[in-house]
Amino acid sequence: VPAALLGSALLRRPAALGAAAARCAPARDSHGPPRQGHGGSKAASLHWTGERAVSVLLLGLLPAAYLCPGPAVDYSLAAALTLHGHWGLGQVITDYVHGDVPIKVANTGLYVLSALTFAGLCHFNYHDVGICKAVAMLWSL
Amino acid sequence: MATTAREEMRRFWERNERSGRPLSPHVSIYKWSLPMAMSISHRGTGVALSLGVSVFSVAALLLPEQFPHYLAQVRALSLGPALVCSAKFLLALPLCYHTWNGVRHLV
């Protein structure tokens, strides 16, 4: 969550810097080194890369689920599906929810939902037939 | 000292919200384009799939019986091939759309 906010803050920073510099040009040097910006943390871009990596992983798991169903694919699917969904819904929240408190509430709710989802999928894999088998059974209906 | 970007954003939003200005129409008047439609469909299918998976997981945690039991119940309803096929299509469509459009984003 802070990473996503940092990302959008990083994007808007150059415009704000430009406006601030235009307003106080002689005192530009009193600005000092920027706390965020070019020397800042790589959290946002790492998050982005992580999102792509999990997407590719999930994509690969789909044929794997069809060709070699089993507990390994079941648990990997549970993890990749939950994480991909968690990050995706996180982006939706970042886009549409505004205000410090609503954002915090929404993200906390998302964490709870994702935790429940992962727990439920693992429970299903362990105590029930497992995701791959379940899809196969459902489709044979 | 100059203000931070975050502080300037906060001031802008405070003043903007205080002035109570009406929002100009955007979604209702802007001409829909294919990229726009595909993008919002990608998001819509993504949210729907996520919520579907979550509902399934919570059901797996809460419901007393195992999956085959409920599947047998559905089979016992003898819904007829047309309904079963349409249901499978409705389940598969968002997944396929989101997957293929996702590949388009990844490439």
* Structure confidence at residue A112 as a pLDDT band (50, 70, 90): very high
List chain A domain ranges: 70-140
Q: Return the closest-CA partner of residue B38 out of B102, B107, B95.
A: B102
Q: Do the beta carbons of residue A21 and residue A28 sit within 8 Å? A: yes
Q: Say which residue, B16 or A13, is predicted with more confidence.
A: B16
Distance between CA atoms of residues A94 and A138, nearest Å: 35
Q: Can you say which residues of A are annotated as belonging to the binding site?
A: 84, 96
Mean pLDDT, range B16-40, rounded to an integer: 89
Chain A residue with minimum CA distance to B77: A141
Q: Say how many C-beta atoms besides its own lie within 10 A of residue A33's C-beta.
A: 7
Is the pLDDT at A8 greater than 80? The verdict is no
Tell me the average pLDDT of chain A.
80
Q: Say how many C-beta atoms besides its own lie within 10 A of residue B82's C-beta.
A: 8
Distance between CA atoms of residues A78 and B55, nearest Å: 14
Cβ of B1 and A32 within 8 Å? yes
Q: Helix A43-67 and helix A131-139: axis angle, to 10°?
A: 50
- In the three-class reduction of DSSP (H, G, I as helix; E, B as strand; rest coil), residue A8 is classed as helix
Contacts of A19 (CB under 8 A, 6+ apart): B8
Out of A17, A92, A138, closest to residue B43 by CB:
A92
CA distances from residue A75 to A58, A69, A79, B84 in whole angstroms, order as listed = 12, 11, 6, 28
Is the pLDDT at B53 greater than 80? The verdict is yes
ipTM value greater than 0.90: no
User: What was the pLDDT predicted at B28?
Assistant: 84
Residues in B touching A56 (Cβ below 8 Å): 106
Give the whole-number percent of chain A exceeding pLDDT 90: 58
Q: Say how many C-beta atoms besides its own lie within 10 A of residue A70's C-beta.
A: 12
Out of B61, B74, B75, closest to residue A119 by CB:
B61
Q: Say which residue, A108 or A17, is predicted with more confidence.
A: A108
The H or E element that residue B94 is part of is helix B81-106
Residues in A touching B59 (Cβ below 8 Å): 120
**Tokens in use for B68?**
């085959």
Cβ of B3 and A20 within 8 Å? yes
User: What was the pLDDT predicted at A3?
Assistant: 46
User: What was the pLDDT predicted at A6?
Assistant: 46
Fold of A70-140: 3 helical TM bundles of succinate and fumarate reductases (1.20.1300)
Distance between CA atoms of residues A107 and A1, nearest Å: 7
In Å, how far is B21's CA from the nearest CA of chain A?
17
The 10s digit of each residue's pLDDT in B74-105 is 888 888 889 989 999 999 999 999 999 999 99
Chain A residue with minimum CA distance to B84: A141
Q: Do the beta carbons of residue A131 and residue A77 sit within 8 Å? A: yes
Cβ of B57 and A117 within 8 Å? yes
Q: Return the closest-CA partner of residue A18 out of B11, B8, B14, B12.
A: B8
All domains of chain B in start order, with CATH: 36-106 (1.20.1300.10)
Chain B residue with minimum CA distance to A61: B99
pTM of this prediction exceeds 0.80: no
Task: Tell me how far the alpha carbon of residue A46 is from its chain's centroid.
Answer: 11
